[in-house]
Amino acid sequence: MATSVSKLQPIYEDVLANYLISMARTVESSVENALKALLDPNPELAAGLSSNVFLVEPRVNEMEMLIDNHAVRMLRTGLLDDEEIRRVVATQKIANDLERIGDLAVNIAERVISLSGMNVAEMPRDLEPMAGAVRGMLGRSLGALIFCNVVLAGEVLESDDVVDRYRDRIFEHLLARMTADPTQVAPQFQFMLATRYLERIADHSTNIAEDIIFWVRGLDVRHSRTRVALEEANYPEKIS
């Protein structure tokens, strides 16, 4: 029996990888629709994009549960080596981050719906470049996932501070506008929430990058992202 399961192990691994990549692409599409809705000045188009985000959420939740169940079945065999165990554990953690990113896309879409009924003077000037930076982080983290590429994962970690700087500038701008014009408090608060959700998507993208480094290199860089650890992850030939 153990021999039969051992022969099927590569198939189980391929299935798990396909589940995760499918979930990643679904979540990326959902985030893209949410960001387009947030930045699009056309209310009807924004509402349509937001509706697509809402419709996809149950599918993302189901995919996370499917991945968890499949991962548990693999772990129960007791036949995995250290690298395979890291892969399964990292897959479960990445699926959880993807599910949270999907939820944040829904949160952004909800802000779009709220803003559609408000008198919005103008969009925060740094919101579009911040959205672009977050989109880039998510795209690189998913590229790192698909290609098991620790170089891309390292680039994601290096981008996190850029998003934080955009957040700080936007918050400062929004608070100044709310103070100057009380009629803009409600819409500017919605933009503040959307900015926070963008920052959280970046944080989860960072988590995914960290898990990929753990999976591929066996390095835990979550809380002490030292230069040596990152160089070893990205450029092992430089480490003696």
pLDDT at 102 over 90: yes
The stretches of the chain forming alpha helices (DSSP H) are: 2-39, 43-76, 82-116, 127-147, 150-180, 185-217, 227-234
The mean pLDDT value of the chain amounts to 88
Length of the chain measured in residues:
240
The verdict on domain 2-238 having CATH code 1.20.58.220 is: yes
- pTM, 2 dp: 0.89
Considering all CA atoms of the chain, what is the largest pairwise distance in Å, rounded to the nearest integer? 73
In this predicted model, what pLDDT tens digit does every residue of 109-118 receive, in sequence order? 999 999 988 8
Domain spans, the chain: 2-238
pLDDT of residue 122: 82
